[in-house]
Amino acid sequence: AIQMTQSPSSLSASVGDRVTITCRASQGIRNDLGWYQQKPGKAPKLLIYGASSLQGGVPSRFSGSGSGTDFTLTISSLQPEDFATYYCLQDYNYPWTFGQGTKVEI
Amino acid sequence: QVQLVQSGAEVKKPGASVKVSCTASGYTFTNYYIHWMRQAPGQGLEWMGIINPSGGSTTYAQKFQGRVTMTSDTSTSTVYMELSSLSSEDTAMYYCAKRGVVGSTAFFDYWGQGTLVTVSS
């Protein structure tokens, strides 16, 4: 199974900060990677698919980049509603695998 | 609008089985695969498997092979996930999610609300 290593596991940031989360795959996965946001007690929400395509309705402050093994999620200006846990997910092959998550805290 | 509605919380004893349902609406049920994930308390997300509602073909994570069964009922637009031989380590929130596709890229575009399964003696 492909391992997804996400970093950092947690970070503290302030409103307005630029935040970057990285995800590394144990083998090349082309651009078959998505980013999801999860708030406490809620199901995850799709932010980015295909490594860099913004899901409809998601604010443009979210962006994704990368291909192959190294990927990045960037929040250009952190907003109060962005404090959550973020997961990457590879959909290159089965079993689909998630990163361990990054908790973004105030 | 697309909705996935899951069955309610379950409490099971070790060794028992649990069957969780996920009823879809707002789209053509047979056109999109459904995945199942779980999340233990305070932990990350774990992919369990996938079912094609049209025909019922499945792929399971090796970890759950032999213990999980996913089925679909096209008459009610419902998929089911049954997990057997439960232990305390199976205590988790279980999610179904609809697979979306754009070109060759797949993702989870809609999720169920989650079903909490608690395994306790």
Test mutation, A88, A91, A103, chain B, max B CBs within 10 A: A91
Whether the pLDDT of residue A106 is over 90: the answer is: no
Whether the pLDDT of residue B85 is over 90: the answer is: yes
Cα end-to-end span (Å), chain A: 34
Whether the pLDDT of residue A33 is over 90: the answer is: yes
Residue in A44, A50, A89 closest to B111 by CB: A44
Query: What pLDDT does A93 receive?
Result: 92
Q: What average pLDDT does this structure show over A69-74?
A: 98
Q: Residue B51 CB: number of other CB atoms within 10 A?
A: 24
| Interface A-B: count of C-beta contacts within 8 A | 61
Tell me the shortest Cα–Cα distance from B109 to chain A, in angstroms.
6
Q: What average pLDDT does this structure show over B19-37?
A: 97
Phi, psi of A33 (to 5 degrees): -140, 140
Q: What average pLDDT does this structure show over B71-97?
A: 97
Q: Residue B10 CB: number of other CB atoms within 10 A?
A: 16
| Dihedral sign (CA A61, A72, B95, A85) | negative
Q: What span, in angstroms and rounded, lies between the C-alpha atoms of A55 and A49?
A: 7
Question: Which residues of chain A make contact with B35, given a CB cutoff of 8 A?
Answer: 96
Residue with token string 């999980």? B68
B103 band by pLDDT with thresholds 50, 70 and 90: confident
